[in-house]
Structure 1
Amino acid sequence: MHLYIFYANFFFRTTVYRVHWLRTLALRDRWAEELLLVGREMVWMVDFFIHKSQQWVSRMQEADANQMVGHRCYAARQARIYLRLSQQAQDSFERTKGVARVTE
């Protein structure tokens, strides 16, 4: 009788430990994936701002060629805004990347 209780208790504990270990492993994998994605999203965000700035520069050049002064000024302002956003994002992300370290 005691032997049966011992084995039942042992089986239950090993099952609980195994489930806990698998949940912890899955959690670690999710965080590793999240860290990878956030790093890539930082790059994508800077690239997006640069792309939008270049779009506004080309619109500014079109407006300049068509002698549309108001449109040119607006496009120049938008290009500066997006360029400034890309620079600020790059600076912020560089500081953040220095803080976050992956341990394996």
Structure 2
Amino acid sequence: VYHINWLHTKAVEEVKLIKSEVQWSINFFDLKFRQWEKLGMQSQEWGAMGHAVYAACQATIYANLRDQCPMKIADVNNSV
């Protein structure tokens, strides 16, 4: 019985940790999105259009990563 309780507690702890890691990833992607978006706006103000376009591409990448994270985790949760 002790062994089963230990396994259950460990599994619950792992689930909490994974959920936290997912949220940390989403927060990181959102931070990078906002940073690139800000750099893009600054580049436009300075007239550096090439830099602005590159920053917009990077912002789009991080926005997509941020937005897809919850969907991918939901897919994993549904398959378990």
TM-score norm. by structure 2 comes to: 0.84
Indicate which of 49, 60, 65 corresponds to 1:80.
60
Greater RCO structure (CA 8 Å; 6+ sep): 2
Q: Which has the larger radius of gyration?
A: 1
Structure 1 runs (4+) deviating above 4 angstroms are: none
CA shift for structure 1 position 99: 4.7
Report what 1:47 is aligned to: 27
Structure 1 vs Structure 2 CA RMSD:
1.6
CA shift for structure 1 position 77: 0.5
Indicate which of 46, 70, 73 corresponds to 1:93.
73
CA offsets 1:44-103 (integer angstroms, 9 cap, x no match):
211211111011000101111111111111111100000111122121122334455xxx
TM-score norm. by structure 1 comes to: 0.67
Report what 1:25 is aligned to: 5
| Matched residues, number | 80
